Amino acid sequence: MRPLTALLTATVRIYVDAAREAGKAFSRSAWAFLTLLLCFPLLAVVGLLVAPLGIIGGLILSILNAACAGTYLAMLRDVLSVRRSLGPAAVRSNLGASTWDIINVLFPIWIVDLLLSLLGVPAVVPLVFGIAVVLFLNPVPEMIGRSRNGGLELLREAAQFMMNHGPEWLIPQVGALALLWLAFPTQALPILSLFGPRFGFTTTGSLAMSAGSGAVGWAIGFGLVALVHLLMLFRGALYLRLSGAGGRRAREWSERLR
């Protein structure tokens, strides 16, 4: 029981430290939050403008989505590393950061999605593939800009991270996702894609739209984006701890139990 207690203690300590850091970072990340808040309306407007262009329009929208995700992730990295409030200059310096890194991650996933669609497989197959992508490649957003790898190598690195730290990484996030599912029961797939290699956090606003119109709907939507932003900060802080000394200590105790 002593090794199990030590493992639980080390893991809980990592969670507490990550939550504390996320809370502190939230207060100094106003511009990062604003970046996330503006992602969905920007994508929605551009989507309407490029819709008549067909495939080319879809390509433009995909690149813009990757640019939005990269800009926001770069802002999060700065907030967690610099440990001071960032101003509009940080948005300008990070604008479009890691765009091609994100596209290189999305491309092989998109190819598999396309093949499954063309092959006409049963609907359960794409669903299982989507769940597997989210589970086994979940920390990809946090690895963008922190890893020297890209594309398939980054996906392999993410899978290796999940093999080492999967339970510790997923457990605190499952509760948050479950609460979101309870609040938005018809949006299960978009919620599942919020965190992971599909970078669904850029379209958080689409979930907010299902909250209804009027002042109450807008308030719920604003709160939802703020919650997703806080969870992204927590994920970033947790990734740094699990991939560092704290994660090694928890893994060592886990190996002693085997």
Q: 123: domain range?
A: 2-257
CB atoms within 10 A of CB 5: 10
C-beta of residue 30 within 8 angstroms of C-beta of residue 233: no
Mean pLDDT, range 172-187, rounded to an integer: 82
Q: What is the pLDDT of residue 156?
A: 94
pLDDT at 22 over 70: yes
In sequence order, what are the residues at sequence separation of 6 or more whose Cβ sits closer than 8 angstroms to the Cβ of residue 210?
184, 186, 187
Q: What is the pLDDT of residue 35?
A: 93
Reported pTM: 0.88
C-beta of residue 147 within 8 angstroms of C-beta of residue 154: yes
pLDDT at 99 over 60: yes
The Cα–Cα gap between 214 and 177 comes to 25
* Number of domains comprising the chain: 1
SS3 content of the chain, % helix, strand, coil (to 5): 85, 0, 15
pLDDT at 257 over 50: no
Mean pLDDT of the chain: 86
The Cα–Cα gap between 223 and 215 comes to 12
The closest of 15, 43, 89, 77 to 201, measured between CA atoms, is 43
Tokens 């085997």 identify what position?
258
Task: Report DSSP state, residue 53.
Answer: G
Q: What is the CA radius of gyration of the chain?
A: 19
Mean pLDDT, range 49-57, rounded to an integer: 91
Question: How far apart, in Å, are the Cα atoms of 175 and each of 13, 230, 231?
Answer: 18, 14, 11
The Cα–Cα gap between 192 and 139 comes to 13
For helices 151-183 and 124-136, give the axis angle rounded to 10 degrees: 110
Mean pLDDT, range 87-112, rounded to an integer: 91
C-beta of residue 18 within 8 angstroms of C-beta of residue 238: yes
C-beta of residue 195 within 8 angstroms of C-beta of residue 135: no
